[in-house]
Structures are given as C-alpha cells and as structure tokens.
Amino acid sequence: MSHIMLIGFMGAGKSRVGAALAEKLGLDFVDLDRLIEQREGSPVTELFARGGESAFRDAEHAALQSLIAHTPAVVACGGGIIVRDENRALLRQLGRVVYLAVSAAEALARIGDTSGRPLLAGDSARLAPQILGARLSLYRAAADYIVDTGGRTPREVLDEVISLLQPDSPATTIRVSVGDGYDISVGSGLIRTVGDVVRSSVGERRVVIVSDTNVASLYAADVSESLASVGVESELVVIDAGESSKSWATAGAIVSELAGRRLGRDGAVVALGGGVVGDVAGFAAAVYVRGVPVIHVPTTLLAQVDSSIGGKTGVDLPSGKNLAGAFWQPAAVISDISVLATLPETEWVSGLAEVAKTALLAGEEQLAALEHAAPHLCSRDHVAVEEAVLMAARFKAGVVSGDERESGSRECLNLGHTLGHALERVAGYGSVPHGMAVAVGMRFAARIAEEVVGASSALTTRTDDLLDALGATDPIPVGIGAEALIDAMLDDKKTRGGVVRFVLVRQPGDWSVVPVEVTVLKRHLDALLHSE
C-alpha cells in the first residue's frame, strides 16, 4: 500500500484538504477518527470519557494498523497520532506523510467551538499552544513534506500538496562556475539520490562518509544505501557533534581515518552534516594525499544556503578561529530540504538570518518574496523553504563563480558579519548563535547605511520587520558594551589600516563596502544597545 497520510494539529484542514485531495487523485478518503468510531462502535468523545486518552490511543493505533491492508487512500489522521513512537514508524510504512502546519491561534480561530475536543477542555487559548509546542518537533520528524496552511485557503494548500506529491519531482540544480564547475541540487528527499549524484559527478569511486554523532544516526544509513544501490562501496567516519570538532586536531584525525580505511587518490569523501562537518571534512578532503573530491550533503539551513557553497573550508587552532583552511571546490552539493524539518529552532532561525542577508543583497524581487514567505518559513513549509534555499544558493553561486578567492564581489557576503563576528567573539564563541549575531549585525548595518550611504529609513524598517518575522529577534546580550564590540571590530582581519570596513546596502541589491569612522559606529551602537 502507498497511502497519503495527512497529519497536523486540529484545525489544520486535514479532513477538508484530505477529501479534496482524494477526489483529485481518484483515491479513497479515510478520516481516521471516523474509522476508529466505526471499529469501536462509539464516538471518540465517549472513548475518551470511558478509558481516558490511553484507551483512545490504543484504538487509534489499531485503526492505523488496519490500513496496511487497505487500498491506497488519502488518510486524515487525528492531531495526536504522532505522540506514540510506534505510530510514527507506522506512518512512514503506510506511505508518504504530509504535515499540514498551522499556528495554535489560527487553529482555534478556525475551529471556533472546542466543546467536542476533550484535550482542550478548560482554557483552550492557553492549552492549544502548549499542546502544539509539545508536538511540533514530532510532526516535523514524521513528515516527508511540510505544508504551511497559515493564511492560506484550502485550495492553496491543496495545490501545494499536489505539487509536492508529483512523482519524481526533479531536483532543481544550480551550476557553480569555479574551476571545473559543479552542481548544487536542491529538493525534497534528495538524500536518497546521493549515490546517483556521486556516480555522475566523480564516477565509481570508493567513498568515505564523514558525519557527526547527531547526523550520522539519522541519515548515514540512507546515504550509504543510496551509494550501495549504484554499486559504490562506502564506509563511515563519525566525529563528535559541535563546534569543538572544527579543529586542526579533528581534521588530522579524519585524515588518519581516511588512510586507515585505505582510501586511495581515486576515492572521495561525502561530508554529511552541518557547517562544522562541511568545514572540517572539506579541509581533510582538500589535504588528504593532496586532495580527493568532496561531495557536500549539508543538513542544516545555514550550511545549505551558505557554507556548503564556494569551496571555503577551514578549521580552528587553539590559538584562534579559522586559522587554517583551503579553497577546495566540492564535486557536488546535495541540499535535501526534507532533512531540515528536525533542526532545532535556534539553528533554523540562524539559517533564516543568512537567507535574509542574501535577499537584501540580491534585490527587491528576492526581498519582497522573502517578506511574503516569512511566516511559511517559520512553519518550515517545504515549498517556501525550497524557494528560499534556491534563492540563497543561486545568489551565492553567482557571487563565488566570479570570485573564488574573496578579493572582490564575494566581500558582499560579509553583510552583517562585521558586528556579528565581533559579537560572537566578545560574547565568547558558541554563546550567541552565528545567525543571531548576523541578524544583529544587519540591523546595525542598516542604521549605518542610512547615515553613510543615504539608505532610506524604510529599508531599515523592512530589515527589522523581516528579521522579526523570521524570529531572529535576540538582542545583544546584557553586559556587552559598545567599547568591547568596537575593539573587536577594529581587530577583525577584514579591517585594513585601522578603518572598519562595512558592507552597506543602499537599496535592495545595491551594496558597497565603505570604511566607517569609529565615532559613527559608537553612536549607533549606543543607540542600539539602549533601545533594548
């Protein structure tokens, strides 16, 4: 059987969208709560009243299991189906899982009367966000596709679900023209295509997959199977998750592991993970026997929109950050947006801040599209995410295609990073997430741009509103003063001759690099610090 399983919070529109979808696709429609009622011979409310939630969940699981023998159908599941671990496994087994996302407030507004909802008995306005919050990561983890229903008509939701369910909807590829050139593939479920991409980009090489303790358990088996399916033998090297692995020592350990697994010059490395894995495994690939190809499979939004593109690799030494590295262009980048569903919220917002940076640099069209998509991005709606990743990847691919070694136009990518880096450093690396620091830096740069390059105050407002809408709202932590930040900016490697160089945006798409006086920085920094 291969059903289409709709999951989501109450009021997400599972029944309505599900019925329409079934009709459109010519499939049966099953409302799981109705199926339970038929099988148990009593209404859901009565099941709850009689045996409590536990008895209901037993009945629900049994009903779900009965679908194994059912002809292909669209199934609207109850909101709590994902709470039980065995149900999530069963959902995957039953077919493709679509999560219809909705905020708690919009859900309540849609359903109106909550009297038939035993879980909301009492203060529904207080309970609904609590329940949704507890379930959110489970919905996302269970889903093959996420569709945000917020502010959308059922028809719009239906159209998006149908577009996502297209059989073999091909990945979009972006060409990067550096060296021999390479493709970035962006799409859903691409982790299962790694084998094909490796075969087509570097041929039939032995592969060592480098991943970290967080990501390996989730996706290494999929990657390895995908490689095996095209006859490519692979082994796995797992490093500790976290920033501390972005080190000279870990790079050396990876090189030793590659040698220990007897990877030859005719081998290749697949870097499966976030920015740290990409940086350290990319560097190890660059130097192992003076260089073997690397294929990046970035699993964080930040890595997909930024660090996996452009060939920069680098590691820290005890004496400083990013001291060693190499320009080593990947043979391919595979950005599977499905794997982003399980990212922790902080990392998600960090990635969105870089997306916002890119939109400001790219132009009005991209900025307006991102402003429009912002709420859907917060729900990790797959179409919105794919579009955002594509936009950012396209822009970065264009920039690095012209400027591999960061002498000219690549400098624009530092928008928001001058203060951002200083903030990360003063706060102590790791205590302020990179993207949040960049968001603060972008707000700051917008204010400087008003004064120095005549940007409009409207653009500052748009920058602030966009970052707010994307959830990048963390202020500069209490206790960090303007002096320390300015000292750190003056010390940054990008400063030349004691002047702080800023990337400033005059209008969307129109940026320049401008030296800014310390007194100007001080005044705006004070204002920013005191406004909070």
- State in Å, rounded, how far the first CA of the chain is from the last one: 56
Region from 64-72, 178-186, 201-209, 279-287 binding its own copies, contact rule CB under 8 A? 279-287
Q: Is 265 in the site for its own copies (CB under 8 A)?
A: yes
Q: Is 179 in the site for its own copies (CB under 8 A)?
A: no
Active site residue 414: yes
Q: Is 280 in the site for its own copies (CB under 8 A)?
A: no
Active site residue 156: no
Pairing of strands 172-176, 332-336: unpaired
What DSSP line would sit under 41-74, residue for residue? TS-HHHHHHHHHHHHHHHHHHHHHHHGGGSPSEE
Instruction: Compute the distance between CA of residue 497 and CA of residue 303 in angstroms, rounded to an integer.
Output: 32
Active site residue 205: no
Closest distance of CB 327 from its own copies, Å: 6
Q: Which of residues 99-158 bind its own copies (CB under 8 A)?
A: none
Closest distance of CB 409 from its own copies, Å: 17
Q: Which of 324, 484, 518, 520 binds its own copies (CB under 8 A)?
A: 324
Closest distance of CB 434 from its own copies, Å: 19
Q: Which of residues 283-312 bind its own copies (CB under 8 A)?
A: 283, 286-291, 312
Q: Which of residues 400-439 bind its own copies (CB under 8 A)?
A: 405
Instruction: Compute the distance between CA of residue 388 and CA of residue 374 in angstroms, rounded to an integer.
Output: 10
Q: Which of 65, 229, 322, 409 binds its own copies (CB under 8 A)?
A: 322
Q: Which of 264, 402, 408, 430 binds its own copies (CB under 8 A)?
A: 264
* Choice between 321 and 506, CB closer to its own copies: 321
Given the residues 290, 493, 496, 530, select the one marked as catalytic: 290
Active site residue 406: yes
What DSSP line would sit under 159-186, residue for residue? HHHHHHHSTTPPPEEEEE-STT-EEEEE
Which x/- pattern over 206-225 shows residues binding its own copies (rule: CB under 8 A)?
--------------------
Residue 428: C-alpha distances to residues 210, 242, 437, 479 (Å): 28, 15, 12, 12
* Contact indicator for 22, 28 with CB cutoff of 8 Å: yes
Active site residue 421: yes
Helix (H, G, I), strand (E, B) or coil at 229: helix
Here the tokens at position 471 are 């959830």
* Contact indicator for 355, 467 with CB cutoff of 8 Å: no
Q: Which residues pair with 237 in a beta bridge?
A: 210
Region from 38-46, 191-199, 322-330, 480-488 binding its own copies, contact rule CB under 8 A? 322-330
Q: Is 317 in the site for its own copies (CB under 8 A)?
A: yes
Closest distance of CB 515 from its own copies, Å: 17
Spatial strand order in the sheet of 95-101:
28-31, 73-76, 3-7, 95-101, 145-148
Active site residue 396: yes
HSE of 100, CA atoms in CB hemisphere, 13 A:
36
Given the residues 57, 88, 434, 447, select the one marked as catalytic: 434
3-state secondary structure 296-351: EEECCHHHHHHHCCCCEEEEEECCEEEEEEEECCCCEEEEEHHHHHHCCHHHHHHH
Q: Which of 325, 330, 441, 471 binds its own copies (CB under 8 A)?
A: 325
Region from 78-86, 220-228, 251-259, 269-277 binding its own copies, contact rule CB under 8 A? 251-259
Closest distance of CB 491 from its own copies, Å: 10
Q: Is 511 in the site for its own copies (CB under 8 A)?
A: no
Q: Which residues pair with 317 in a beta bridge?
A: 320
Closest distance of CB 97 from its own copies, Å: 43
* Choice between 149 and 313, CB closer to its own copies: 313
Closest distance of CB 333 from its own copies, Å: 19
Q: Is 256 in the site for its own copies (CB under 8 A)?
A: yes
Element (H, E) at 387: helix 382-402
Active site residue 24: no
Closest distance of CB 406 from its own copies, Å: 8
Active site residue 523: no
Closest distance of CB 343 from its own copies, Å: 28
Active site residue 354: yes
- Encode burial over 501-529: b for 16+ CB neighbours within 10 A, e otherwise: bbbbbbbbbebeebebeeeebeebbeebe
Q: Which of 26, 122, 493, 530 binds its own copies (CB under 8 A)?
A: 493
Element (H, E) at 207: strand 207-212
Number of residues that bind its own copies (CB under 8 A): 32
- Nearest in space to 142 (alpha carbons), one of 301, 297, 8, 31: 8
Active site residue 410: yes
- Please give the backbone phi and psi of residue 215, each rounded to the nearest 5 degrees, phi first: -85, -35
* Choice between 112 and 320, CB closer to its own copies: 320
What DSSP line would sit under 413-445, residue for residue? GGTTHHHHHHHHHHH-TTSS-HHHHHHHHHHHH
Given the residues 117, 246, 396, 524, select the one marked as catalytic: 396
Q: Is 319 in the site for its own copies (CB under 8 A)?
A: yes
Q: Is 318 in the site for its own copies (CB under 8 A)?
A: yes
Q: Is 499 in the site for its own copies (CB under 8 A)?
A: no
Chain centroid to CA 134: 20
Given the residues 60, 354, 386, 424, select the one marked as catalytic: 354
Pairing of strands 172-176, 182-187: antiparallel
DSSP 204: S
Q: Which of 83, 218, 255, 490 binds its own copies (CB under 8 A)?
A: 255
* Contact indicator for 247, 240 with CB cutoff of 8 Å: no
Closest distance of CB 279 from its own copies, Å: 11
Task: Give catalytic residue positions.
Answer: 290, 312, 354, 396, 406, 410, 414, 417, 421, 434
Contacts with its own copies, residue ranges (CB under 8 A): 248-249, 252, 255-256, 258-260, 264-265, 283, 286-291, 312-314, 317-320, 322-327, 405, 493
